[in-house]
Copies of this chain bind each other. A is one copy, B any other.
C-alpha cells in the first residue's frame, strides 16, 4: 500500500499527469518548526542538475493543506499537495498499447487490469519522489534537533568512483555535500561523472550508478531484531524509490570474500565510548545500531527511458514492434536520487526514535 511507517506514517498519492501529487505525514509530534526553505532546498536538489538533467520545469512547491499552524506542526496530519502544471496527456497516448522496456507499463497494466492512468508513468512516475523528498525533509529537521544527520553522495557512475565516506571526516564531508545538486566528495570525480552522463546523453542512452548513504550521530540501541531490523526497514524504504535494484550495508557484498576474522569489527574504547575499530557491519549488529555511523550503498539502474529504438510488443495483438520514446529524458537520475534516499532514510530513523523515546520527547517547550 501507499502508507509507510509505524509511529510516523507517510501516505503518498498522485499520478504524473493527474491534478496533483502529494502526501499525508501522520504521527508528527506537535510544535516542530516547518522550514519551507529547507524543504525547498531538498526539492530543488531532487528536481534538476546543471545541464545534465531535463526535468519538467515545474516549481514543485508543496502547498501545505493541513497540520501546520503558525509555522509549526499541530500534531495532526500534515497534508501537502504539489500541483501538476505541465500536464500533456496526449504526448503519451501513442504508447498506450506498447509497453516501454523495463518500465512498469506492462506489469502495471496487468496489475490494474487496464484501468491505470499510464500518462507520464502515472503513479509509477519518478515524479512521485517529490512527495518522499518533501516528507523526508521534515523528518530530517526533526533528527537534526536530536543531533542526527544524514547524507548521500554518488559513489560511482560507470567506472568513475567518488571518494568514500571516512568516519573521522564525516562532519566535514556532510558539510561538503549539503545542498549540492550533484553530490560528490571529489569535484574532479564529479566532473568526470558528468562527462560520462553527457556522453550517454549524446548517444540517446542513459547510465546508472551507486550512491552511498551515512547516518551520523545515532547512538547505539535503536532498532529491532528480526523483522524490524534497521536493515529491513531501511531496505524497505529505499526499495520504494524507483530504479533501486540493490542495497548493501557496511562491507556488503564484499563480505562474501572475507573470513570472519577479517569481517568482524573489534570493540575498542575511544574517547570514553565503546566503538568498533572497523565498520564492516555498517553500524548495525543484530538489526540494532551499535553507535558507529550507519553506512549503506544503493544501486540505481540506468533510466529506462532512452531515445534509442527498442524492441517491444503490442499488448493486445501480441505483435512485435519497434518503439521510439519521444521527448527529452534524463540520461541519469543517480544524483537526483540522493535527496530521495536521504528522505526515506530520515523517515525510518525518525520512526525508530519515536518508538523508543515517544512522541512527547520531540515537542519543544512552548
- Pick from A113-121, A143-151, A169-177, A178-186 the stretch touching chain B: A113-121
Q: Which of B107, B304, B356 contacts A221 (CB 8 A)?
A: B107
Report the Cα distance A266→B24, complex, angstroms.
35
Segment 114-156 of A: residues with Cβ below 8 Å from B: 114-117, 122-124, 128, 156
Check: A349 CB closer than 8 A to any chain B CB.
no
Q: Among B101, B248, B289, which residue has its beta carbon within 8 angstroms of that of A265? A: B101
Residues of chain B with a CB closer than 8 A to A59's CB:
none
Q: For the complex, what is the distance from the CA of A290 to the CA of B108, rounded to whole Å?
A: 9
* CB atoms of A116 and B227 under 8 A apart: no
Is B7 within 8 A of A123, CB to CB?
Answer: no
Complex Cα spacing A36 to B66, Å: 24
- CB-CB < 8 A to A354: which residues of B? 358
Q: Are B285 and A223 in contact (CB under 8 A)?
A: no
Interface size class of A (residues with CB under 8 A): 35 or more
- The CA-CA distance from A69 to B124 in the complex, in Å, is 15
CB distance from A197 to the nearest CB of B (A): 11
* CB contact under 8 A between A267 and B101, given known A107-B288, A256-B158: yes
Q: Looking at A7, A76, A250, which has the most chain B CB atoms within 10 Å of its CB?
A: A76
Q: Contact between B7 and A355 (Cβ–Cβ < 8 Å)?
A: yes
- A112 contacts B by Cβ under 8 Å: yes
> A30 touching B256 by the CB < 8 A rule?
no
**Residues 11-29 of chain A, each 1 if its beta carbon lies under 8 Å from chain B, else 0:** 1111100111110101100
Tell whether, in the assembled complex, residue B255 and residue A115 are in contact, meaning their CB atoms are under 8 Å apart. Answer: no
A135 → chain B closest CB, angstroms: 12
* Cβ–Cβ contact B22 & A65, under 8 A: yes
| A311 with B267, Cβ < 8 A, contacts A116-B75, A224-B1, A239-B229 known | yes
Name which residue of chain B comes closest to A21, CB basis: B66
Q: Tell whether, in the assembled complex, residue A3 and residue B11 are in contact, meaning their CB atoms are under 8 Å apart.
A: yes
Given contacts A1-B27, A14-B77, 18 further A-B contacts (CB under 8 A): A1-B224, A7-B7, A13-B79, A18-B67, A18-B69, A24-B24, A75-B115, A101-B264, A102-B265, A113-B363, A115-B366, A123-B226, A128-B225, A240-B287, A260-B302, A266-B310, A267-B311, A272-B318
- What 5 A-B pairs come out closest when comparing CB atoms? A104-B286, A358-B358, A246-B248, A110-B221, A206-B260
Can you list 25 A-B contacts with CB-CB less than 8 angstroms, sorted by A residue number?
A2-B26, A3-B9, A13-B24, A20-B79, A31-B114, A74-B115, A101-B265, A107-B223, A107-B288, A108-B286, A113-B363, A113-B366, A123-B225, A208-B255, A208-B257, A208-B258, A209-B256, A227-B237, A229-B239, A231-B239, A236-B236, A251-B301, A260-B306, A263-B304, A268-B320
